Amino acid sequence: MHVCGQAACSRSRDSLEWVCDAWYVIRRRRELDWDVVLHTAIESCLALVMAVQLHYLAAHRRKGDADWSRLRDVLQPTQMDTRATRSTYPDGLVAFVKRDCPTCVLVQPVLRQLAQHTKLTVFTQDDPTFPEGLSPLDDSELERSWRNHIETVPTLLRVAGGGETGRAEGWVRSEWEALSGVGGLGPDLPAHRPGCGSLSVDPDRRIDLAVRFENHRLQARRVELAPLEDEMEATFERGWSDGLPVVPPTERRVMRMLEGTTRQPREIVAVVPPDMVECAVEKIAVNAVLAGCKPEYLPVVITAVEAACTDEFNAHGLLATTMPTGPVLIVNGPIRRALGMNSGMNVFGQGNRANNTIGRALQLVIRNVGGGRPGEVDRATFGNPGKIAFCFAEDEEGSPWTPLNVDLGAAPGTNTVTLFPGEGPRSIVDQISREPESLARTFAECLRTLHHPKLVMAFDCILAVGPEHARVFADAGWSKVKLVERLGELLSIPGSQLVRGAGGIAEGLPEHFRAATLPKFRPGGLLVVHCGGRAGLFSAMIGGWANGAVGSQPVMREIKA
Amino acid sequence: MSANQSEGPRRVLLDPTGERNPDVTRARLPRLARLEGARVGLLDISKPRGDIFLNRLEQLLLERGVKVERFTKPTFTKPAPLDLRQKIATTCDAVIEALAD
């Protein structure tokens, strides 16, 4: 162990050789008690050093040596890390209490009983004089409670060899007696009573404790602001903003954001274009903070990043194009309600935090992590306001039809986000049609104009049918499939109208298409969603970018916690 | 400015960027001293009429005794595939990319 310590402080190769020798000697001692070695290492802060060296030995010095591999498995650095950061105690019993807990007050006589029979250490979270007569140790900083993952007070730990060997939470006489080996505890007390929440898991304090004791989990570069620097201005000056104010990503805010996912901060989610940078959960969380997301939105943002950075969706090309398109996010499933997303009035507009910040977070990841900035790789001639954020939910409850994600193959009730490469929405007004055929013809006339009335099949489109229009189809018994089929018929266009020069317009298809009849949309190229306010005989269309293998495919992904 | 103002609590933000460093392993190659005898790749990115531009370039290069290789990206919307980039890098001394329309 001494050699380990030396090696940790020395850079010479010689000392590393000594480590190998020392370990060789240790290994020959078959009777060695590894628990003792481990505890000694932990107490002398050598646990990590030891684990690193075992990894080194297993990997380089003793290839194929089963013993070393076994040891390496036992002493995984992550385990060692956890163990090393847990505080150790003298053998015996350790109790965590607070005065502000009736159960802790109730068990005071039990603690005194235990102190007579065994070595008892008491940590108190609020009042350092409580419980009286037991010389409690002050844990009002909550470090001991945090490091030992105390969730309830009272908690009683049994400690042997410096490590925890058992715990009881709340007051349960039988458990306390089994743990302590002392009988007849608290004869005047009820047999059991639940405890209270530990202050170390108090929602108001938990994040601060995480920042104090676990901020090493965050790997992002730390940017320290100058004393007189305005933090809002600082984010603009460093180029992190899309042009609107962003929320400064402090450790506290990022820690809190990460509580929204079960994924590890270091897990790589995607390789983000255009710089092709590996992006971990943590970086997405930092950008979600910038965007103004709540932690519960984070899984949607992570899934959107995953979906965007696929070869099919081709976020690279969508960013670089001169066309006015960007990622459009459509959220389906119960999570829409859980997050309070808007699928109704003003669905594409301002005012809903989830809609706007989720869409914005994806764009900020592409900007900041991927390096995709307007005027650089982003070559858009016009762009559109939706490139700040364009995310909405489908109104599934009010819809007469299947939701979009089910159309794309998801099981009903699945939480999904679908990415579509889209321009800004355009309105379709028809306040007169009450028959489905008439309304379908209105849709067809408007859809025909997408990007150019003479350009076909190259661009997909989202048709967002408003509730009052959807009712016209529903009342006549038109399914979504029937509507799409009818639109396909209405949008079968003679090549003579589409070729270059037709209608006196040079733009169009090559001459050899003259005799053909072509559909406006490729099969599956028209995606129908139901959303919008309940008043207004309107629908909307969101035109796409170059589709298919040449450009971008809509991509749907299931949202996981 | 009072002492209190300059000695406020440290304010630390987390860097939201990719934290990339300039890649010194990809320094620019020197320009070719002369074109004669060189092998020049012509890369069509599959935008309409890129071929018109590249055909003319090929003609001009051939007149000057330059060897020409033609390459085509599958689509202009995505970066060139790795194997295509490697093929160009290993067979050509220089490459001319025709960007568009």
pTM confidence score:
0.81
Nearest CA in chain B to A309: B78
**Which span out of A88-92, A380-384, B47-51, B79-83 was modeled with the highest average pLDDT?**
A380-384
Nearest CA in chain A to B13: A250
Instruction: Look at B14 and A552 and tell me if their CB atoms are within 8 Å.
Output: no
Task: Find the mean pLDDT for residues A533-550.
Answer: 97
Tell me: the pLDDT tens digits for A253-277? 999 999 999 999 999 999 999 999 9
Which candidate in B1, B17, B26, B73 is best for mutational testing of the A interface (most A CBs within 10 A)? B17
State the pLDDT confidence band at A45, using cuts at 50, 70 and 90.
Answer: low
Tell me: the pLDDT tens digits for B31-49? 889 888 899 999 999 988 8
Residue for token pair 């099969």: A523
Residue B18 touches partner A, C-beta closer than 8 Å = yes
Q: Which two tokens stand for residue B6?
A: 């300059």
Predicted local confidence at residue B1, as pLDDT: 40
Other C-beta atoms closer than 10 Å to the C-beta of A468 total 17
Task: Find the mean pLDDT for residues A515-532.
Answer: 98
Q: Which two tokens stand for residue A216?
A: 């090493």
End-to-end CA distance of chain A: 42
Cβ–Cβ < 8 Å for A312, A555: yes
Which of B6, B17, B78 faces A317 most closely, judged by CB atoms?
A: B78
Nearest CA in chain A to B74: A550
Q: Which residues of A touch B8 (CB under 8 A)?
A: 227
Task: Find the mean pLDDT for residues A76-90.
Answer: 50
Cβ–Cβ < 8 Å for B43, B97: yes
Is the pLDDT at A35 greater than 50? The verdict is yes
State the pLDDT confidence band at A459, using cuts at 50, 70 and 90.
Answer: very high
Sequence-ordered list of residues with C-beta below 8 angstroms from that of A319, at least 6 positions apart, any chain? A273, A274, A366, A370, A372, A377, A378
Between A558 and B99, the higher pLDDT residue: A558
Instruction: Look at B77 and A234 and tell me if their CB atoms are within 8 Å.
Output: no
Predicted local confidence at residue A203, as pLDDT: 87
In angstroms, what separates the C-alpha of B6 from chain A's closest C-alpha? 5
Tell me: the pLDDT tens digits for A141-168? 999 999 899 999 999 999 998 789 999 9
Ramachandran bin of A351, using left for φ above 0, alpha for ψ from -120 to 50, beta for the remaining angles: left
Predicted local confidence at residue A63, as pLDDT: 44
ipTM higher than 0.85? no
Task: Find the mean pLDDT for residues A294-308.
Answer: 98
Nearest to A303 by CA among A10, A483, A45, A559: A559
State the pLDDT confidence band at A304, using cuts at 50, 70 and 90.
Answer: very high
Tell me: the pLDDT tens digits for A329-342? 999 999 999 999 99
- The strand pairing partners of A277, in sequence order, are A272
State the pLDDT confidence band at A250, using cuts at 50, 70 and 90.
Answer: very high
State the pLDDT confidence band at A529, using cuts at 50, 70 and 90.
Answer: very high
Q: Which two tokens stand for residue A371?
A: 């390096």
Nearest CA in chain B to A287: B16
- The strand pairing partners of A108, in sequence order, are none
Instruction: Look at B14 and A550 and tell me if their CB atoms are within 8 Å.
Output: no
Residue numbers of chain B with a pLDDT score lower than 70: 1-8, 22-25, 100
DSSP characters for A244-288?
Answer: S-----BHHHHHHHHTT-SS-TT-EEEEETTTTEEEEHHHHHHHH
Element (H, E) at A120: strand A120-124
The phi and psi torsions of B19 (rounded to 5 degrees) equal 55, 45
Is the pLDDT at A51 greater than 90? The verdict is no
Tell me: the pLDDT tens digits for A471-522? 999 999 999 999 999 999 999 999 999 999 999 999 999 999 999 999 999 9
Tell me: the pLDDT tens digits for A94-114? 999 999 999 999 999 999 999
Which of B17, B19, B79 faces A316 most closely, judged by CB atoms?
A: B79
Residue type, B5: Q
Nearest to A531 by CA among A330, A363, A379, A376: A330
Which candidate in A283, A289, A500 is best for mutational testing of the B interface (most B CBs within 10 A)? A283
Q: Whole-number mean pLDDT of chain A?
A: 90
Instruction: Look at A286 and B14 and tell me if their CB atoms are within 8 Å.
Output: yes
Task: Find the mean pLDDT for residues A6-18.
Answer: 56
C-alpha distances out from residue A426 to A291, A372, B76, Å: 26, 26, 28
Predicted local confidence at residue A363, as pLDDT: 98
In angstroms, what separates the C-alpha of A286 from chain B's closest C-alpha? 6
Predicted local confidence at residue A28, as pLDDT: 62
Sequence-ordered list of residues with C-beta below 8 angstroms from that of A14, at least 6 positions apart, any chain? none
Q: Which residues of A touch B19 (CB under 8 A)?
A: 220-221
Which of B13, B14, B77 faces A546 most closely, judged by CB atoms?
A: B77
Question: Rounded to 10 degrees, what is the CA torsion of A8, A12, A15, A17?
Answer: 120
Distance from C-alpha of B95 to C-alpha of B39, rounded to nearest angstrom:
9
Q: Which two tokens stand for residue A285?
A: 């969380």
Distance from C-alpha of A140 to C-alpha of A127, rounded to nearest angstrom:
8
Please report, for chain B, the start and end positions of each structural domain, with discontinuous segments joined by +. Answer: 36-101
Residue B12 touches partner A, C-beta closer than 8 Å = yes
Residue A325 touches partner B, C-beta closer than 8 Å = no
Which CATH number is A92-201 given? 3.40.30.10
CB pairs under 8 A between A and B: 93
Predicted local confidence at residue B30, as pLDDT: 87
Least confident of A195-209, A233-247, A306-320, A418-432: A195-209
CATH 3.40.30.10 domain range(s) in chain A:
92-201
Predicted local confidence at residue B3, as pLDDT: 41
